Amino acid sequence: MEELAESIIATIQANEKDWLRAWDVQGYIPMDHGLLLYVTRKDGQKVVVSIQTKDHSVYQLELLRNNDKFDRIVLGGTYDVKKDQLGEQIDQLLTVYH
C-alpha cells in the first residue's frame, strides 16, 4: 500500500509543479488501490481527495468533505483521469467545487 501511495504522489509531482505545497497537503493515508490526500482548499476548507487506481495509468478522483465511513460527503469527482493529467485534474476539483 505504501509503495502505491508514494508512486501516486510521485506521479502528481512529475510535471515539476509543486502541487503538494499549492494544496497545503496535511497528510495522506495509503489504501489498497490508492490514497486519501488531506488538503486545504484556497477558501480554507479542509477536504479529502480520494485517488484510486487499478493499473497506474487511469485514476478515479473524488473530493470529500470528510472521510468518516458513516458520514462521507462527496462534493464532486473526476473519473478515468490519465496519468499525465493527475495533478491538473485534482487542482480543478479543488478549485471548482465549493
Q: Which tens digits make up the pLDDT trace of 37-88?
A: 999 988 888 999 999 998 889 999 999 987 666 777 889 999 999 999 999 9
Tell me the pTM.
Answer: 0.88
Tell me which DSSP letter residue 56 carries.
S
Mean local confidence (pLDDT), 20-41: 94
Closest CA to 60 of 41, 76, 45: 76
HSE (side-chain half, CA atoms, 13 Å) at 75: 20
Please check the confidence at residue 14 and state whether its pLDDT lies above 80: yes
The pLDDT confidence band at residue 91, using thresholds 50, 70 and 90, is very high
